[in-house]
Amino acid sequence: MLENSFKDPMGHIIESSDNSKIFRKVMGAYKDEFIEFYNSTLYNTLLEKKYILHIESIQEEQDATIFYSERIHPITYPYEWTFHQLKDAALLTLKIQKLALTYGYSLKDATPFNIVFKGYQPFFVDYFSFERYKANKPWVAFEQFMKMFYLPLAVREYTPINLSKDLISHIDGFELRDYISMLPTKAYFNIYHLINLIVPYKWINKNKRTSHSEKPNFSLEKQIKLIEFLFDAIKNMRPHKQLTTWNDYYDHTILENNYLEAKTQLIQNWIKEYKGSTHTAIDFGTNNGYFAKLLKTKFESVLATDIDYDSVDALYLSIKKEKDSSITPFHAELHNPTPAIGWNLLERTSFFERFKGNLGTALAITHHLRITNNVPFELQAKFFASCVEHLIVEYVDKKDPKVQILLSKKEDVYSTYSIEEFKTAFETYFMIHEETPIDGFDRVLFKMERR
């Protein structure tokens, strides 16, 4: 049993010994209910609509059934998603809940951890969340939905704060009464937030603790109205826009034209010549995904990450438009990679456990890590070596105008910064196969292989 599936006493997730397959074991009192769901029109409708992936019943035990399901690998977690990824996951959850209700079922959980992205597409993977709808009961997962989806989205709508990142430290979501205060007064004039969040959780339910003797009386019709209203509220949310340095990096920098052309040509050739395994590539510092899109011509799966939230969000929207399932965008800070969290630190795995690639590209980022984050080249090389077997990396010299901008903001304590230092550091972990300067620029591209 995986230690991330202990919460549900009726169903566990089991991994095959080589980690390539996922099995789901359903048992106890829930078994018959689940088998009924598995054979229901709801299950088939969810499959047809591509809201879930097919699972196959493979083994029958006395009081348990085992199902096999495709493994989406690697998975990204909600704290690595951007606004539109979280929004689409929220909308999917509500679509599924409405559909479930119309077929006599309901979701007992509404957490973004139940959703997995395969490229642009979110899939609901917690099959054991479906239970029979109980007449006149309210939606048991309503508050969880508000704490884990609605609030982080609403906060991002009005502020530049990426609250979903804090799901790392708030694995069960945010206490609504406390966190509503993050919303500016402007949000109080949004009719959806007023009704869904502010009136019930800030003004009325402030100190109220309800007793268990409360009689549930919430008709199915009302619940469907509630779900539809939440859907409209979330559909209307737009992210707070701020202009970041990276938004139009390739469109508006002096580096444009010749530089990008030469770099593209070279990297295209290297990708073409590449003879290793073509399972996964990782584009570190992907920006608008320009090079991730080159990588996908060769690789089955491309992980594209950047420190800039808005760039990753724009990349997600672009692959969504193109219906691209091969690129997985996610937000991460390389100088502070996602940790493992939860019970025994095994519930959600770390950056290093999930993101491994055959080839990595680290273009125009080593100078940022070196100067902005003070990470020595040798530690950078060690980082890349722990993620990828082959590496295409760009060295940006101190004379480069971009490095000069970084240095103008702080004291130059980087007297040893040079191509020699760079090469010696990377040679500790990699063998350098090729080294090509970009004509007319103080930049050099390297092709390397891990020792």
Site for other proteins, rule CB under 8 A: 91, 94-95, 98, 138-144, 191, 195-196, 199-201, 204-205, 208-212, 214, 216-218, 222-223, 225-229, 231, 235
Minimum distance from residue 226 beta carbon to other proteins (Å) = 5
- Kindly report the number of other CB atoms within 10 A of residue 413's CB atom: 10
Judged by CB, which is closer to other proteins: 177, or 186?
Answer: 177
Spell out the residues 6+ positions from residue 345 whose beta carbon is closer than 8 angstroms to its own.
Answer: 339
- Evaluate the CA torsion angle 271, 273, 274, 276 in order and state its sign: positive
Minimum distance from residue 309 beta carbon to other proteins (Å) = 22
Minimum distance from residue 137 beta carbon to other proteins (Å) = 8
Minimum distance from residue 231 beta carbon to other proteins (Å) = 4
Judged by CB, which is closer to other proteins: 206, or 409?
Answer: 206
- Nearest-angstrom CA–CA distance, 161 and 268: 37
Minimum distance from residue 199 beta carbon to other proteins (Å) = 7
Q: Is 330 helix (H, G, I), strand (E, B) or coil?
A: strand
Judged by CB, which is closer to other proteins: 101, or 445?
Answer: 101
- Give the largest CA-CA distance in the chain: 77
Q: How do beta strands 357-362 and 280-284 pair?
A: parallel
Judged by CB, which is closer to other proteins: 52, or 425?
Answer: 52
The position carrying tokens 């939905």 is 145
Judged by CB, which is closer to other proteins: 133, or 201?
Answer: 201
Range 71-74, long-range pairs (CB < 8 A, 24+ positions): 71/19, 71/20, 71/21, 71/22, 72/116, 72/117, 72/118, 72/123, 72/125, 73/301, 74/280, 74/303, 74/328, 74/354, 74/355, 74/356
Minimum distance from residue 217 beta carbon to other proteins (Å) = 7
Judged by CB, which is closer to other proteins: 9, or 160?
Answer: 9
- Nearest-angstrom CA–CA distance, 96 and 272: 42
Beta bridge partners of residue 302, listed in sequence order: 281, 327
- Kindly report the number of other CB atoms within 10 A of residue 451's CB atom: 9
Minimum distance from residue 193 beta carbon to other proteins (Å) = 11
Minimum distance from residue 205 beta carbon to other proteins (Å) = 6
Judged by CB, which is closer to other proteins: 98, or 118?
Answer: 98
Q: Could you tell me if 263 and 363 are in contact, meaning their C-beta atoms sit under 8 angstroms apart? A: yes
- Nearest-angstrom CA–CA distance, 148 and 173: 5
DSSP state of 202: I
Judged by CB, which is closer to other proteins: 96, or 392?
Answer: 96
Judged by CB, which is closer to other proteins: 173, or 285?
Answer: 173
Minimum distance from residue 127 beta carbon to other proteins (Å) = 21
Phi, psi of 65 (to 5 degrees): -130, 140
Minimum distance from residue 172 beta carbon to other proteins (Å) = 8
| Integer CA distances (angstroms), 90 to 131, 228, 229, 231, 289, in order | 19, 12, 13, 8, 24
Minimum distance from residue 29 beta carbon to other proteins (Å) = 19
Judged by CB, which is closer to other proteins: 53, or 198?
Answer: 198
| Integer CA distances (angstroms), 385 to 113, 132, 268, in order | 29, 49, 22
Judged by CB, which is closer to other proteins: 200, or 339?
Answer: 200
Q: Could you tell me if 111 and 61 are in contact, meaning their C-beta atoms sit under 8 angstroms apart? A: no
Residue 268's Cβ-side half-sphere holds a number of Cα atoms within 13 Å equal to 9
Judged by CB, which is closer to other proteins: 146, or 327?
Answer: 146
Minimum distance from residue 327 beta carbon to other proteins (Å) = 21
Encode burial over 290-299: b for 16+ CB neighbours within 10 A, e otherwise: bbbbbbbeeb
H or E element, residue 56 = strand 55-60
